[in-house]
Structure 1
Amino acid sequence: MENQNSCKLLIDLHIKFLRQFLFQAPKNFVFYEYTRPTILFFMISGLDILNALNVLSSEEKLGICDWIYSQQVKLKPENDIEELRKCGFYGSRTSTVKDCDNENLSQLNVGNLAMTYSSLCTLIILGDDLSRVNRINTLKAVKYLQNENGSFLSSVVCGENDMRFVYCAMVICYILNGFSYINIEKTIQFISQSVHYDGGIGLKPNLEAHGGSSFCGIASLFLMDQLETALTSIQMKNLKRWLIFRQQSGFQGRPNKDVDTCYSFWIGATLKIMGMFSYVNWEENKNSILLCQNTITGGFSKCSHTEVDLLHTYFGLYGLSFMNITGLNEMHSALNISMRAYEHLKVLHNLYKTNSYW
């Protein structure tokens, strides 16, 4: 929607857009019921980018945290590996999933790495102290969801395994100080073997390079403190070239694809982590994102002629934050949270450093 307001960020409108979904989601959101923690993360972290968490009262923040904890698996499985793999946070207590092997419907009250990742990040953003997280069982779930090739299953129920869930596992381990629970060497090997011949990183070995999987791989290496050693100098050089070449006006996710608002984050954050964002044409990128904001309802769309949605609103705002836009908080590119939330996490790490629980 292009008019005289398209060239500036309409912060107040985007705050209103994000907040309204917290308490009055449209009926089509029923299709995303099993991913409610991720949808919630887009709203809460989006408000944080906009420096607008103050639009939520203390009671509302506490209520959101309580709801997140209500999605935590309550099992106390001790050393039962099959039960431990179910731990973490799930998407919804009301959704169901078709069993992978038959036509029966089972309640989806099983932990999922993506939902656990989203839940932990949202708790940190809201200032929670994580004291109610079942840390040991959550980390054991991550441990037992790791495959022999170093990747991770998203869940024991119809779980997928690719670079997305490697990233989720790495953030969980970083937040909960639990890298000792996984096989880091195999994870590094999985990432390095997923580097495509054209320079980018695919979801798995021998798959096409993609902006999203490139972010997940590089951010994971950064969080493991392995970014400088895991890839060869030639791989790093080719990856940087591949990333820079994804800018057209904004960024595309793959060669010969259209520009898409969300890649201002996926590619931009990867370049940021690698110290390469100064090579981006900031003005072209900023204008490309701003042309996708709706100047009536707020929110951002995938491209200028499509409908706005929460995912592209969140990643559009995040992409703008890299370019020092007035009114936007600075973000931690690898953890996908604000630097303000990251400082809170550092306080928690220091607080629990002498506690054997951590």
Structure 2
Amino acid sequence: MATIKDIASKSGVSVGSISRYLNGIHLKKENEEKIKQAIKELHYIPNQTAKSLKMNKSFSIGILVDNMDNFYSSQLIAALEQLFDHAGYFLLLTSHRNNEKTFEFKLAKLIERSVDALIILKAETKWTSFQKVGQLPLPVVSVEASLPDKKVPEIMSADMMASQKVVTKILQKRNKPAFLIPTESDYVLQQRLAGINAACKSMGVTLTPDQVIYVNYGTTEAYEAVAGLNKKGFDSIFVTNYTNAIQVVQGVRDCGKKVGTDIAVAGFGYSHLLQNMKLPVTLIKQPVEKVAEKVAETVLKLLDHQKVEKQVFIKDKIFWQKELQDE
């Protein structure tokens, strides 16, 4: 196995300079190129354990997500992995599955593995163990969840703003809108509901009980609700997640109505999936890539003992369908 001395002999660069380069210190471009070429030719593999002991760092980032099968989470993880690979960090990934005891257990396991920083995605604000993460002796960043004490940086999609904007347009352009709301409640959903309420307040609209339909996630209740809404003459439906959007579109079609023209459908989802299916839905897409970039930037700054913003909202992108666009 090649050593630093072998690289020095091959490249003509001193052992000390090579050591500094391997520890992330920039050298003259000419020397860096010589070292890179020697490493490539010798198939050199750094001793990460020795490096970690010397620098008192594991060069690993712990990520505790809600669910692995969640589309947003999987996209965020993929983006973060690429960003941290480039920065020389390895990701340790696990999920809390929206369970407080699981969250507490997995959090402890990541800390036991001496991660240099933690990224926590969509934890419940009410969980005691989540409320205490600001007391941990390492950098922590919360994604899509907020803590009252604001002791850790928070990076979030601006779902409330986007929700308010789309619902305002629905109230302006359609006569009888309905809203399908999941029975589950987390910080993200609360922000989307806050946007609905803000839009109604600004337009002087009070929703009636038959306009708000509560549906269970993972069931076909959203699809089943459409038939009843159609009979009552509703001309638009706002949904708060992608799964319900798909069900509503199918429900509208099965009622013999045209999506968009007869019944406008709007809500949160994943643009490329809906667009590939050619579904005429006004879509709010969370800015996954930009969130990942901000999370990585924040973590790396914290590791470098730099100041960071305590709370960042990143704008969602809205894909408008013509039924809700301004003429």
TM-score, with normalisation over the residues of structure 2?
0.26
Point out the structure with max Rg over C-alpha: 2
Q: Higher strand proportion, which one?
A: 2
Q: Of the two structures, which has the highest relative contact order with CA contacts closer than 8 Å and spacing of 6 or more?
A: 1
TM-score, with normalisation over the residues of structure 1?
0.24
